[in-house]
């Protein structure tokens, strides 16, 4: 079998050449592009409901322990959170410090390793998180009325995609390991 000329466009499953200007040629890129744009729009919607000084990134850290409650029995270490969010530990430590000052997270000793701590969502952090979600309800209702059944139809497929990418990330297959702060 001859090696493919890298200057030539790659071949699709049916053997036809894929080109960058062909809308149907890269469906996964188009999907990621739509997810990215939707994420930016949803982030702006969320940011508008957050109090001054609180960022979407802060909210996602507060939401994380609630979202993974089935998988995680106990708190996560700051390093585990930094790895989950694909960021440097120093940035996560800074974020956690700000959330702790507001009383939304607490740090408890790690029973498995006395040298580290585990981050826990406090009751006031849960109240804040739930309040933000409640503040999104009117806009959510408008979107659901305009696009009935959309969330229910997309959630299973998006969940499968996220789980696949999470597994690939954890295995180091699709993405390089998270950068570590020096």
Question: Do residues 38 and 6 both lie within one domain?
Answer: yes
Query: Is 180:88 a contact under the CB 8 Å cutoff?
Result: yes
Instruction: Domain of residue 75: give its range.
Output: 54-171
Specify the number of domains making up the chain. 2
d(CA 126, CA 122): 6
- Looking at the fold, whether 62 and 31 belong to one and the same domain comes out as no
pTM value? 0.74
Residues 164 and 76 both lie in one domain: yes
CA distance 43 to 50: 11
Other CB atoms within 10 Å distance of the CB of residue 163:
10
Mean pLDDT, residues 74-88 = 81
1 and 76 housed in the same domain:
no
Flag whether pLDDT at 15 surpasses 70. no
Domain membership of residue 166 (yes or no) is yes
Give the C-alpha separation, 65 to 71, whole Å: 10
At 65-77, the pLDDT tens digits run 777 653 445 678 8
User: What is the predicted pLDDT for the residue at 156?
Assistant: 96
């Amino acid at each position: 079998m001859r090696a493919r000329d890298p200057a030539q466009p790659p071949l699709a499953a049916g053997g036809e050449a894929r080109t960058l200007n062909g809308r149907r040629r890269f469906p996964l890129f188009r999907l990621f592009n739509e997810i990215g744009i939707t994420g930016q729009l949803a982030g702006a919607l969320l940011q508008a409901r957050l109090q001054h000084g609180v960022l979407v990134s802060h909210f996602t850290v507060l939401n994380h322990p609630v979202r993974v409650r089935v998988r995680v029995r106990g708190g996560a270490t700051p390093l585990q959170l930094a790895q989950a969010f694909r960021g440097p530990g120093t940035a996560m430590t800074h974020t956690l410090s700000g959330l702790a000052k507001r009383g939304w997270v607490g740090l408890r000793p790690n029973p498995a390793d006395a040298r580290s701590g585990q981050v826990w969502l406090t009751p006031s952090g849960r109240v804040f998180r739930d309040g933000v979600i409640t503040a999104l309800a009117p806009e959510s209702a408008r979107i659901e009325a305009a696009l009935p059944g959309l969330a229910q139809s997309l959630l299973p497929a998006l969940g499968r995609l996220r789980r696949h990418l999470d597994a690939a990330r954890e295995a180091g297959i699709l993405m390089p390991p998270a950068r570590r702060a020096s």
